[in-house]
A = this chain, B = another copy of it.
């Protein structure tokens, strides 16, 4: 029974799904990541994954993040939650068949938001799962909202909430680029990656760059990072790494040196 500070491993939707498709899972990457997590053999891990081409297209089509406005959205909300459980199921399959005692915790079953922000989280299950040395797995989800009826809870908001609430040791953000850049590395050849950033440098950068306009209901890379500010302010280090590159997640979990962006309070 563990009482140590856990580490959060966030796996972006762009790593485990093909964002150009719809309901297009990258099964070989999912299985590779499950093996890397198994091989790293670390205790006290919380896994949170994004929605990629499962949650996002449906959430966008039915404007789920704008809240409940008309009856026709209801089936869209149901579908969005359902496809997220399907993607989660594929990830769980890989984790369990690789021998990891992983337990999915459905955010919509224990979290309520208010105007898009988490206001209530029934955390008994998560605490119990960690205490018994299981690996809890959560995900971005369609959730109920006190003001809006329903909305989208991004995996990134969930990471930040749990990180501060459970005072985690560190956050690993696995994405499909090498780290945080001063522009979009997929379109800008001259984009420069930051190796280290302090909270102050990050805030200055955000002011200078403004928000990313990526077509993504949970925001682009800066949107993701700004969600993590409360955790960084609490002194929790964040490391952004490329989870599509073999063994990067394995190495970072083992505490080995990996290319990426490290963001620390000071």
Closest chain-B Cβ to A165's Cβ sits at a distance in Å of: 16
Residues of B contacting A102 with CB < 8 Å? Answer: 78
Residues of B contacting A104 with CB < 8 Å? Answer: 81-82, 85, 106, 109
- Measured CA separation A101–B15 after assembly (Å): 29
Q: Which of B101, B122, B129 contacts A144 (CB 8 A)?
A: B129
Q: Which of B89, B100, B125 contacts A108 (CB 8 A)?
A: B125
- Measured CA separation A74–B129 after assembly (Å): 11
- Measured CA separation A110–B144 after assembly (Å): 15
- The reply to whether the CB of A66 lies closer than 8 angstroms to some CB of chain B is no
- The reply to whether the CB of A86 lies closer than 8 angstroms to some CB of chain B is yes
- Measured CA separation A109–B143 after assembly (Å): 14
Residues of B contacting A88 with CB < 8 Å? Answer: 85
Query: Which 6 residue pairs spanning A and B have beta carbons closest together?
Result: A122-B122, A109-B109, A74-B101, A106-B106, A128-B144, A78-B101
Closest chain-B Cβ to A114's Cβ sits at a distance in Å of: 12
Closest chain-B Cβ to A89's Cβ sits at a distance in Å of: 6
- Measured CA separation A110–B120 after assembly (Å): 12
- The reply to whether the CB of A149 lies closer than 8 angstroms to some CB of chain B is yes
Q: Are B75 and A85 in contact (CB under 8 A)?
A: no
Q: Which of B77, B85, B101, B109 contacts A101 (CB 8 A)?
A: B77
CB closest chain-B residue, reference A136: B109
Besides A75-B96, A109-B122, A122-B122, 4 more A-B contacts (Cβ < 8 Å) are: A74-B101, A82-B89, A85-B85, A110-B125
Q: Which of B89, B101, B125, B149 contacts A75 (CB 8 A)?
A: B101
Residues of B contacting A68 with CB < 8 Å? Answer: 132
Closest chain-B Cβ to A175's Cβ sits at a distance in Å of: 26
- The reply to whether the CB of A99 lies closer than 8 angstroms to some CB of chain B is yes
Q: Report which residue of A75, A81, A106 has the largest number of chain B beta carbons within 10 angstroms of its beta carbon.
A: A106
Residues of B contacting A150 with CB < 8 Å? Answer: 132
- The reply to whether the CB of A103 lies closer than 8 angstroms to some CB of chain B is yes
